[in-house]
Structure 1
């Protein structure tokens, strides 16, 4: 799989998240659960670590649980249960490594990488929180548009020293424009969203390049959707901090 294929998967996941936010809470919940499970399945393949099936459950199920909680907990604590699911997932990762015993291959890589996967999987609940927050979905649209431009920049087959700044700049410029056109969001909060989202996406693009082309389909799907899942939480917290 080439890096541009992973970027295309990310764009598709982004479109599904934004579309789900504008349909119904049940649809968005279904999208968040499917993405969490896809990240759970694909992340161990991307890392190339052992015990992929067990780790798929450990990474994916906390993300699904976090999405369910974000859908049904009373406002305003939409993500109050997310830290608990992250902690449970990380504890399960460490417990699994203890069960595997000493001397097993890639224990450190598996522990650290799987813990990061749990975090990314659970952050997908941020899309639901951002959708429920004040009943206003414009910040999600702004974050989605800026993320799309960052992902599109990542499809360009140029060196990272060019693509990374380009992706951040495009996301940072696109977000305020989207905010002015599609909502009443002020320029500065929208620009902050764009820059932060762009920085996260181009950083994870670097991981794909370092990993190389020798990745399978589950790995491509997991890596394409993982950063997109994080975008929702970024939009939610920036919305809450700078606008509310």
Structure 2
């Protein structure tokens, strides 16, 4: 049941992005900001960061910075400031972890997790870049629809050996149907099917990789440290929601890279 929380999170984000595509650029920017805040809050809890608040602040600041930079970039490729932000984010990550001390435990794992979170929040800015590219925006809507369908498939209570292929097949089918019945001839069937396949692969891969992180031994560290049963329950509930929030928002943030690449190729 708890796996469906990520689907609910993804559905809210997808609906916000899909609707704002046609309602205005500013609304789309705000909807993309929800993705950033979802990842910023959930990622440190998913990876069991020893500095969750500092990491959340860092991810939120750089994620919003990426959105702002893409919003104000009026010339292709619309992501000129992204390398600068990535470099500054890496510097922040190393400095933040140095404050824990030279002999801090799991330093490599923590740095790796924080850098991964940085990549994901900066990826959200590609949605803003994608909508900035002149032309039709059907690829954005089809990509979002494929993402949510794939998320639903991976949330089914079956082994990943079944849900992962199902996610790819269903996301591809939905992309093809939308291309033929709704958005023809703005987006070719071949492009739509390719988009569906990649989105399905993306969601399946994120589900497999981050799902393993969610059940890693580090996730139980704070719970074992607590001797109070009620505190354990409260911490577990809060962490479970944050973990599902990250698992729901991360594929959508990364999906922007795919849509942006398709829009750039088509422009």
State whether TM-score is above 0.5: yes
Report the alpha carbon displacement of residue 238 of structure 1 after superposing the two structures with TM: 2.0
| Match of residue 233 from structure 2 | none
Report the alpha carbon displacement of residue 207 of structure 1 after superposing the two structures with TM: 3.5
The whole-number CA distance in structure 2 between the counterparts of 1:193 and 1:187 is 10
Matches within 5 A, 1:35-114: 35-114=35-114
Classify the secondary structure of the residue corresponding to 2:133. helix
Report the alpha carbon displacement of residue 29 of structure 1 after superposing the two structures with TM: 1.4
Q: Considering only aligned residues, what root-mean-square deviation do their CA atoms show, in Å?
A: 1.8
Q: Deviations over 1:6-36 (max 9, x none)?
A: 1221122111122222211111112222321
Matches within 5 A, 1:109-124: 109-124=109-124
Q: Between Structure 1 and Structure 2, how many residues are aligned?
A: 243
The whole-number CA distance in structure 2 between the counterparts of 1:232 and 1:7 is 18
Q: Does 1:237 pair with 2:251?
A: no
The whole-number CA distance in structure 1 between the counterparts of 2:88 and 2:33 is 17
Aligned match of 1:220 in 244, 247, 267? 244
Matches within 5 A, 1:146-165: 146-165=146-165
How does the TM-score come out when normalised to structure 2? 0.85
Q: Deviations over 1:182-231 (max 9, x none)?
A: 32211222112111111111112124542249543233222211211111
Aligned match of 2:193 in 178, 191, 194? 191
- Contact 2:175/2:192 (<8 A) preserved: yes
The whole-number CA distance in structure 2 between the counterparts of 1:200 and 1:84 is 26
Report the alpha carbon displacement of residue 111 of structure 1 after superposing the two structures with TM: 0.6
13-22 vs 140-149, which deviates more? 13-22
Classify the secondary structure of the residue corresponding to 1:49. coil
| Match of residue 205 from structure 1 | 207
5+ residue gaps, structure 1: none
5+ residue gaps, structure 2: 220-235
How does the TM-score come out when normalised to structure 1? 0.92
> Deviating runs (4+, > 6 A) in structure 1?
none
- Contact 1:174/1:194 (<8 A) preserved: yes
Q: Deviations over 1:97-134 (max 9, x none)?
A: 12222221221111111111111111111111111211
The whole-number CA distance in structure 2 between the counterparts of 1:34 and 1:7 is 15
Provide closer, same or farther for how the CA distance between residues 12 and 123 of structure 1 changes in structure 2, counting only shifts above 3 A: same
The whole-number CA distance in structure 1 between the counterparts of 2:191 and 2:94 is 38
- Contact 1:21/1:128 (<8 A) preserved: no
| Match of residue 133 from structure 1 | 133
Task: Answer with 1 or 2: which has the greater Rg.
Answer: 2
